[in-house]
Amino acid sequence: MTVSELLDEAIARLEQAHVSFGHGTTNVLDEAVWLLLHALRLPLDSLNEHLDETPTAAKVKAFRTLVTRRIESRKPAAYLMKEAWLGEHRFYVDERVIVPRSFIAEWMQPRRYDETVSFFGRTNRESVKRALDLCTGSGCLAILMALMFPEAQVDAADLSADALDVAKRNVLDYNLGRRIHLVRSDLFSALGGRTYDLIISNPPYVKAASMKRLPPEYLAEPTLALASGRDGLDHTRTILREAYRHLNPGGMLVVEIGHNRRALERAFPRLPFEWPATKSGAGYVFTLRREDLEA
Ligand SMILES: C[S@@+](CC[C@H](N)C(=O)[O-])C[C@H]1O[C@@H](n2cnc3c(N)ncnc32)[C@H](O)[C@@H]1O
């Protein structure tokens, strides 16, 4: 069987099984390609060069087994392959952390630094000396931030000791152990009087009603990484209350909130949220300056 035929077969199986996407891919074609390239041990984005090749029987078997596991377990492909990608950056993941997919990563692509620096209100990358990734999970955003701002010392905080173990592995993989400091903390509580030029956070933000309707793929992720009270804003409320005290003058707060923009603006009508555009549109991530939080 050719690679092309194997791909068609997997697409048909995944479609028939009605698996859900949203953990690194958004559609059946991308999901099947990712699984296929992994099983064939080929680089991402190399599919077209290999479509007419005939893989060994062992590789065909490995691929079919992987697709079967994806269908039967309903786990995100990322957990089965123990990897997730944000742009060109690979991270180790397993069931102890949510699968990385934050919109914030769109502005954290170090190789496109010149295009993205203005997003953080910065004119040069050396100006960020102290940064915080609150709710770090796998450490993915803390790592991108450290790569983006080469002079920054980065604190990466999470309540989950399991998540911090995964983050540690990724930090070491990227050789950033001297610049990223993992902290077990309930939001800001263990950070004392530390202050930062930049605070980013992708906190849990799924509201209670939505938690009840999650597809199995999402239920495979830690509940601690998803649920945030009745309206999905429990964590964000605390962040908004306490961020001012932890920001340096001129500092910026960047928080992802998913679909909760209207509820947030209703709850904080006086805050001048900015809603930068993401690939999926605006309204999923807000930014605020320290001065905006002063009142
Ligand atoms: C949506 S995940 C984000 C993980 C990672 N930053 C990313 O973008 O992939 C939220 C993370 O917040 C952590 N968390 C939940 N409640 C917390 C709290 N009260 N204090 C600190 N971290 C918390 C979870 O363990 C989880 O790792």
What are the sequence ranges of the domains in the chain?
3-81, 102-293
CA distances from 53 to 30, 43, 50, 56 (A): 19, 15, 5, 10
Mutate to test the pocket of ligand 1, among 89, 98, 103 (most ligand atoms within 8 A of CB): 98
Q: Is 287 in the pocket of ligand 1 (CB under 6 A)?
A: no
Q: Which two tokens stand for residue 86?
A: 């944000």
* pLDDT at 58 > cutoff 90: yes
Interatomic CA distance for residues 15 and 6, integer angstroms: 14
Interatomic CA distance for residues 165 and 222, integer angstroms: 14
Within this chain, domains 3-81 and 102-293 share the same CATH topology: no
- Provide the CA 240 distance to its chain's centre, in angstroms: 21
Interatomic CA distance for residues 118 and 128, integer angstroms: 13
Q: What's the pLDDT score for residue 108?
A: 86
Interatomic CA distance for residues 174 and 188, integer angstroms: 25
Residue type, 45: D
Q: What's the pLDDT score for residue 109?
A: 81
Interatomic CA distance for residues 90 and 98, integer angstroms: 14
Name the DSSP class of 214: -
Q: Which two tokens stand for residue 177?
A: 């152990």
Nearest to 286 by CA among 188, 210, 195, 201: 201
What digits encode the pLDDT tens for the residues 210-239? Answer: 999 999 999 999 999 999 999 999 999 999
Query: What 3-state DSSP class applies to 226?
Result: coil
Q: Which CATH number fits domain 3-81: 1.20.120, 1.10.8, 3.30.390, 3.30.1360?
A: 1.10.8
Strand partners, 201: 134, 255
What is the mean predicted confidence (pLDDT) over 246-257? 96
Interatomic CA distance for residues 164 and 139, integer angstroms: 8
Element containing residue 231 per DSSP (H, E)? none
* pLDDT at 295 > cutoff 70: no
What is the mean predicted confidence (pLDDT) over 254-280? 95
Mutate to test the pocket of ligand 1, among 90, 135, 214, 278 (most ligand atoms within 8 A of CB): 135
Q: Is 136 in the pocket of ligand 1 (CB under 6 A)?
A: yes
pLDDT-based confidence at 116, cuts 50/70/90? Answer: confident
* pLDDT at 195 > cutoff 80: yes
> Which residue's CA is the closest to the ligand 1 atom numbered 6?
136
Determine whether domain 102-293 maps to CATH 3.40.50.150.
yes
Query: What is the torsion angle, in degrees rounded to the nearest 10, for the CA atoms of residue 194, residue 199, residue 200 and residue 204?
Result: 50
Atom of ligand 1 nearest to the CA of 135: 12
Mean pLDDT of the chain: 95
Interatomic CA distance for residues 23 and 173, integer angstroms: 22
Residue type, 220: A
Mutate to test the pocket of ligand 1, among 90, 154, 155, 158 (most ligand atoms within 8 A of CB): 158
